[in-house]
């Protein structure tokens, strides 16, 4: 199944779909929506990165600085499209959407900086990994005003890799009432928890 060009483009730019907690989508996993959605082809569009690089993004400086060529050599095509060009993976398709370990850390797939711990992850039913909080200082927020929408983009503080967006006040029963909607491709999971281990030292 292929969507019309306009719809493919719009879909690639927005991951706000299904973000309200008290909706029928909360139980959508029982309908196995991922089966159909995985078949959708969303090709990388060369100018996407330029469209998403707002003025605030360009002003950011991060400890890890690499050229576009260096990132392309290091990352897979999907990782590069999402982390460096600010793409979005299809909902319910990511490795970590239904991943709920009892312990461990989700790190940046680009630079390995710890971003989220397993106990900060929660079931939102939105189709992407959801976290209610971060490792302190690991994630940077800024206003994303592209395409006439105002959202809060979240990036890795260490390398500037695009993670997703954060939404507030949706009514989830979490300590922060926030949902960090993160692309699985932007993450890599480890059973180790360097954050807790460092605090014990």
Beta bridge partners of 144: 151
Question: What is the spatial distance between Cα 63 and Cα 150, in angstroms, rounded to a whole number?
Answer: 27
Q: For residue 78, what are the CA distances in angstroms to 23, 116, 143, 183?
A: 30, 21, 24, 11
- The encoded tokens of residue 95 equal 């490795």
Q: Is the dihedral of CA 60, 75, 80, 112 positive or negative?
A: negative
**Residue among 163, 35, 24 nearest 107 (CA):** 163
Question: What is the spatial distance between Cα 85 and Cα 49, in angstroms, rounded to a whole number?
Answer: 4
Contacts of residue 22, Cβ cutoff 8 Å, sequence gap at least 6: 171
Phi, psi for 143 (deg, rounded to 5)? -75, 130
Question: What is the spatial distance between Cα 104 and Cα 22, in angstroms, rounded to a whole number?
Answer: 29
Active site residues: 181
């Amino acid at each position: 199944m292929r969507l019309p060009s306009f719809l493919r483009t719009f879909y690639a730019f927005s991951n706000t779909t299904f973000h309200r907690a008290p909706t029928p989508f909360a139980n959508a996993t029982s309908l196995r929506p991922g089966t159909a959605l995985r078949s959708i082809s969303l090709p990388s569009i060369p100018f996407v990165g330029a469209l998403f690089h707002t003025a605030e993004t360009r002003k950011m400086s991060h400890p890890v600085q690499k050229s576009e060529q260096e990132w392309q050599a290091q990352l897979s095509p999907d990782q590069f499209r999402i982390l460096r060009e600010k793409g979005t993976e299809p909902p319910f398709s990511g490795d970590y959407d239904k991943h709920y370990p009892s312990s461990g850390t989700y790190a940046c797939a680009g630079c390995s900086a710890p971003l989220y711990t397993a106990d900060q992850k929660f079931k939102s039913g939105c189709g992407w990994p959801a976290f209610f909080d971060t490792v302190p200082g690991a994630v940077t927020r800024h206003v994303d005003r592209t395409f006439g929408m105002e959202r809060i983009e979240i990036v890795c503080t260490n390398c500037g890799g695009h993670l997703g967006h954060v939404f507030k006040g949706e009514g989830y029963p979490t300590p922060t009432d926030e949902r960090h909607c993160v692309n699985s491709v932007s993450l890599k999971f480890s059973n180790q928890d360097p954050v807790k281990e460092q605090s014990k030292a």
